[in-house]
Amino acid sequence: MSATTQQPDFAVLGGGLCGRLVAWRLAGAGHRVALYERGPADGSQAAAWVAAAMLAPLAEAAVAELLITELGVASLDTWPRILAELPEPVFFQRNGTLVVWHHADRTEAPLFERRVRANAPHALADEGFVALAGPQIDAAEPALAGRFARGWLLAGEGQLDNRQALRALAAALALRRVETHWNTAVDDAHLPEARVTIDCRGLGAKPVLPTLRGIRGEVARVHAPGIGLTRPVRLLHPRYPLYIAPKEHDVYVIGATEIEGEDMSPVSVRSALELLSAAFAVHPAFGEARILELNSQCRPTLPDHRPALVWDGARTLRVNGLYRHGYMIAPEVADETVRVAQALLDGRVADADAFGALRERSRWGEMLRLDDTRQPA
Ligand SMILES: Cc1cc2nc3c(=O)[nH]c(=O)nc-3n(C[C@H](O)[C@H](O)[C@H](O)COP(=O)(O)OP(=O)(O)OC[C@H]3O[C@@H](n4cnc5c(N)ncnc54)[C@H](O)[C@@H]3O)c2cc1C
């Protein structure tokens, strides 16, 4: 859509996962929105392009705190409503996660369970954590019949197709007349004109969020006809959680490494070997799978590993730190962003006291932060 001369209400910087959702929500609320994305409309420059897009708040409770779990649980209920409003279909499933382990790694199992139960709300852990013996695994996931003696079904967890979601959101932005500027990198010295700026640039916001860092993740995408896994399978592993997420048409996303640093270079041989061996060990038919892609990207991460909405005290809100949980928590993060953004636009929040009051009232107030290193305009 071509640019118009009138100043928009909002400029959204970064059209990855968060930027697309926020821009779409704001436009749906009747605002004039412009979105600037350095990469093409398909989203291929975003961490969101590489992600497995598992929506697994209970499994992630092994490595995440209560805020993240609760954002994830609430977002799981919201995703279907979002997807129903998009103009293109997006694969979404809520069939649970199967957690298994090899005999050699069996000491990981009680550690995982203890961490999940310590971090997740008790009711969620009690109801969502279903212990399975071998025959029950075989019945739940016939493709794995006879392969694992014990496991857990984390009932109610889900996943979606990340690339379909990015594409459908781009189409939805056009329908809501968001002024989209693809292939347009925004430079902090020359910000686009708007009444309020929402910075969703992920790791690209590092110049203005110096504590932001990248955590490298590597994944393989393979085509493996005939295996027929029906839900994401997580394999407990002493170094990082490995998963196999079945998408449509026999495509599987196998991930993911978790390596400190902002190294965007191609996948290492070691990581490729580990990921593909893990899949092969879960089911030997992965030996005949065809490797479609090996991808690496960096997860945008703040020091406390929490998502944050950082207000600069003036006209800019930065939404960042979605780390390894972007898809899992994006609906709630986007809704909270819209609430704060509208309060900035209509002047309800113009000083630290008003921001503090908004924070107090919000269900997700823990995410709201004031960047007090900056001077109000
Ligand atoms: C290997 C891997 C696996 C993952 N698996 C999962 C998973 O299973 N479940 C889950 O919930 N999450 C997962 N994630 C995390 C998820 O992908 C991220 O949390 C999410 O993408 C963050 O969203 P974002 O919009 O903040 O950042 P991004 O998706 O990275 O989007 C930021 C956008 O800003 C753009 N940009 C940057 N700089 C500029 C600039 N100067 N001007 C204009 N545009 C700019 C970028 O091109 C990009 O499109 C995974 C991530 C990785 C790397």
Task: Find out whether the beta carbon of 200 lies less than 6 Å from any atom of ligand 1.
Answer: yes
HSE, CB side, 13 Å, CA atoms: give it for residue 168: 17
Cα 172 to averaged position of ligand 1 atoms, centre (Å)? 19
HSE, CB side, 13 Å, CA atoms: give it for residue 233: 27
- In this predicted structure, the answer to whether residue 9 has a pLDDT above a threshold of 50 is yes
The contacts of residue 268 (CB under 8 Å, 6+ apart) are 218
Instruction: Please give the CATH superfamily to which domain 10-49+162-209+305-370 belongs.
Output: FAD/NAD(P)-binding domain (3.50.50.60)
Instruction: In whole angstroms, give the CA distance from residue 163 to residue 51.
Output: 9
Atom of ligand 1 nearest to the CA of 245: 8
- E strand or H helix at 169, and its extent? helix 162-175
The answer to whether the beta carbons of residues 280 and 286 sit under 8 Å apart is yes
The answer to whether the beta carbons of residues 183 and 44 sit under 8 Å apart is no
Neighbours of 126 (CB within 10 A): 10
Task: Find out whether the beta carbon of 164 lies less than 6 Å from any atom of ligand 1.
Answer: no
Closest CA to ligand 1's atom 15: 324
Instruction: In whole angstroms, give the CA distance from residue 80 to residue 329.
Output: 13
pLDDT in tens, 22-52: 999 999 999 999 999 999 999 999 999 999 9
The reply to whether 97-155+213-299 shares the fold of 10-49+162-209+305-370 is no
Atom of ligand 1 nearest to the CA of 187: 41
Instruction: In whole angstroms, give the CA distance from residue 342 to residue 333.
Output: 14
**Bridge-partner residues for 31, per DSSP?**
none
pLDDT in tens, 195-232: 999 999 999 999 999 999 999 999 999 999 999 999 99
Instruction: In whole angstroms, give the CA distance from residue 44 to residue 38.
Output: 10
Task: Find out whether the beta carbon of 306 lies less than 6 Å from any atom of ligand 1.
Answer: no
Q: What are phi and psi of 48, to 5 degrees?
A: -60, -20
| Domain spans of the chain, in order of start | 10-49+162-209+305-370, 97-155+213-299
Report the pLDDT value the prediction gives residue 289, as an integer from 0 to 100: 98
Neighbours of 303 (CB within 10 A): 9
Report the pLDDT value the prediction gives residue 377, as an integer from 0 to 100: 41
pLDDT in tens, 113-142: 999 999 999 999 999 999 999 999 999 999
Task: Retrieve residue 191's tokens.
Answer: 């910000």
Atom of ligand 1 nearest to the CA of 219: 1
Looking at CATH, the fold of the domain delimited by 97-155+213-299 is given as D-Amino Acid Oxidase; Chain A, domain 2 (3.30.9)
Cα 90 to averaged position of ligand 1 atoms, centre (Å)? 18
- In this predicted structure, the answer to whether residue 323 has a pLDDT above a threshold of 60 is yes
Mean pLDDT for the chain?
95
Task: Retrieve residue 150's tokens.
Answer: 């014990």
Task: Find out whether the beta carbon of 181 lies less than 6 Å from any atom of ligand 1.
Answer: no
Task: Find out whether the beta carbon of 151 lies less than 6 Å from any atom of ligand 1.
Answer: no
